[in-house]
Structure 1
Amino acid sequence: MPFQTAIAACSVCALIACLAGEARAETRRVIAADPLAKEMTGRDVSFLARDLETQEACLLENSDLETRHGPWSSFKIPNLLIALETGAADGLHAERSWDPQRRPAAGYWPEDWRRDQTLESAFRRSAAWYFQDVAVDVGAQTYRTVLDAWRYGNAAAPEASDRFWLDRTLRISVSEQVAFLSRLLSGSLDVAPKNVEALATASLDRRSPEISLHGKTGSGPLVPGDFSRPFEGWYVGWVARTGMQPIPFALYARAATYGEIREFRREFALRMLTECGYLPDGFDR
């Protein structure tokens, strides 16, 4: 099923639920942490997913769902939409030239950041400078207005800042990440369908004939700029299923080093989605 068809179906179902007075209260399923303790060693992990078809939430035991954290590059999900909605980019093909004088490469930059980018390549590669340039074009007031309307965390975007999502000024909780995606995917946000479609294209991680996984990682040091301190990270996205509403999810992890969360974020999120019954065994192989 094309993604936009699924979004339309979500909107219809959301309307039915509203007219019914939201008769179906959310149920919660908790995945025990003890059997997963070895995989989580040395890490603090929180996970939440919400099946918009059944209104079931599935979470990892002892998850902290309400504390707000810096979103880091998981903010590229709303930022891509904001770029498209405001005209700062006219599509996934929108190219920006890297100016090494204006945006000098830091030592940790991968090689694929050090070149011109399109909106899609910058999203997939997590090229921060592209979205910093977008932030300058969009402006802080527009960010605050949009993020407040979307109820995205604390909606903080200081004037003259092009890195508010990278310095922990903007903060969001696990539950707020999932709630934002739930509103987006159910069609209750004022976002053009073509821009939601563009996000689905850019965020596609893996697909099978019946299921597609969409997601974005993000990470950074708890003390911005101090790479010797503990790191925090995200894997945020949704599972799209043929003929059914999607399943937004968010995983947050914290550990002593970046290496301890780099691959773990995505791998453990998929493990949790499998434990919840939202992905089949072996989906990622």
Structure 2
Amino acid sequence: MKKKTKYFKVICLLFVCILACMITGCANHSTEEKPPAESGNSVESENEISADIETVEADWSEYFNGRNGTAVIYDPSNRRYTVYNQKLAETRSSPCSTFKIISSLIALENGIILPEDSTRTWSGERFWNEDWNKDIDFREAFRTSCVWYFRQVIDDIGKDRMQKELEKLQYGNCDISDWEGSLNTNNNNRALTGFWIESSLRISPKEQTEVMERIFGGNSDYSEETRNQLKQVILVPEQDRAALSIYGKTGMGKNNGVVVDAWFTGFAESTEGTIYFCVRLGETEELEVSSTVAKEIAIEIVSDYCIP
């Protein structure tokens, strides 16, 4: 009987030893170092890609003919910025009517503007631009840069949705705090003011090119239908030819009657690919500064860049 008890104790002891070894092995296995998560690697890769884009300074002074201004071309296929007057290219200012690209984009994507049924009723108030003094649809409102039309569109978009979209696009300072546009001392007519007109919202020319790429580039978050509808209204018709198509929007802002911001921003498609561009003119004494001049300069630079 004693022998059986002795054997039983030995067997129990062996069983306890084996069980202890198994537990120790599991503990060691669970504390082994694991490889970093894939998400961390993707962020690191994204940062490396951003750092890999080169910036080339260009002497485009002949196009500006003495005017204070800057030009930026972002060429994603060659991973390159070409910049004239880099300091001004990175200086933020009011986007003015170039922002109609953004308000149109958001409104089209969310069904606030339906191109085939987009006419809005004129209030009867007489505005300085005779083209605005009538009922007007989306295409004509964009062509004539009708402020009262887009003031209504932006109110329909609403503050929350607008803020979310600007943050997604990384649009300059994303500041829509002056929703009504009270900071704009050039105009106190609510129908003709807003955060995008010499007010709280600011963006640099370089950032303008980046936003254009986020909208129209290969990784766009917006539907193909929306982008095609928007392309139809921002196409520069006189520049639409087999080798090159230019798309863009002008914008102009004043301070006490003096033009301080004159823009033309957009993108161009050619057989070589797509580039994104922006030209901005600032206040210049004794020389004409306007959005029309900015557009002319941009078209010349882009045409020479795409078709040397």
SS of structure 1 residue aligned to 2:253: strand
SS of structure 2 residue aligned to 1:214: strand
Q: In 1, distance between residues paired with 2:86 and 2:201?
A: 24
Identify the match of residue 249 of structure 2 among 216, 234, 245. Answer: 216
Deviations 1:202-259 (A, max 9, x none): 00002111320101000010x3xx22x34311000100124x5310101110125895
Identify the match of residue 191 of structure 1 among 219, 222, 237. Answer: 222
Alpha carbons 1:93, 1:120 under 8 Å: kept: no
Q: In 1, distance between residues paired with 2:291 and 2:89?
A: 21
Give 1 or 2: higher strand fraction.
Answer: 1
TM-score with structure 1 setting the length: 0.78
Deviations 1:65-115 (A, max 9, x none): 221110000001111101112221122651111112xxx334xx3221212
Q: Which runs of 5+ in 2 are unaligned?
A: 1-44, 181-192
Identify the match of residue 293 of structure 2 among 264, 277, 284. Answer: 264
Alpha carbons 1:24, 1:55 under 8 Å: kept: no
Which residue of structure 2 aligns with residue 98 of structure 1? 122
Q: In 2, distance between residues paired with 1:113 and 1:210?
A: 35
Alpha carbons 2:178, 2:200 under 8 Å: kept: no
CA RMSD of aligned residues (A): 2.5
Q: In 2, distance between residues paired with 1:29 and 1:256?
A: 25
What does 1:26-41 correspond to in 2, within 5 Å?
Answer: 26-33=53-60, 36=62, 39-41=64-66
Alpha carbons 1:219, 1:232 under 8 Å: kept: yes
Q: In 1, distance between residues paired with 2:116 and 2:83?
A: 33
Q: In 1, distance between residues paired with 2:151 and 2:288?
A: 25
Moved over 3 A (4+): 21-24, 256-259
Q: Which runs of 5+ in 1 are unaligned?
A: 1-17, 281-285
Which residue of structure 2 aligns with residue 10 of structure 1? none
Amino acid at match of 1:270: I
SS of structure 1 residue aligned to 2:123: coil
Which residue of structure 2 aligns with residue 201 of structure 1? 232
SS of structure 1 residue aligned to 2:170: coil
Amino acid at match of 1:250: C
SS of structure 2 residue aligned to 1:117: coil
SS of structure 2 residue aligned to 1:167: coil
Matched, 1:110 2:135: no
SS of structure 2 residue aligned to 1:208: coil
Matched, 1:252 2:280: yes
SS of structure 2 residue aligned to 1:96: coil
Amino acid at match of 1:171: R
Which residue of structure 2 aligns with residue 164 of structure 1? 195
What does 1:37-48 correspond to in 2, within 5 Å?
Answer: 39-41=64-66, 43-48=67-72
Aligned length: 248
Amino acid at match of 2:204: S
Q: In 1, distance between residues paired with 2:243 and 2:60?
A: 29
Matched, 1:273 2:297: no
TM-score with structure 2 setting the length: 0.73
Deviations 1:126-168 (A, max 9, x none): 1111100111111112111110111111112237526111132
What does 1:20-99 correspond to in 2, within 5 Å?
Answer: 22=49, 25-33=52-60, 36=62, 39-41=64-66, 43-91=67-115, 93-99=117-123
Alpha carbons 1:234, 1:253 under 8 Å: kept: yes
The structure that has the greater radius of gyration is: 2
Amino acid at match of 1:44: N
SS of structure 2 residue aligned to 1:48: strand
Which residue of structure 2 aligns with residue 125 of structure 1? 144
Which residue of structure 1 aligns with residue 207 of structure 2? 176
Amino acid at match of 1:165: W
Q: Which has the higher contact order (CA 8 A, sep 6+)?
A: 1
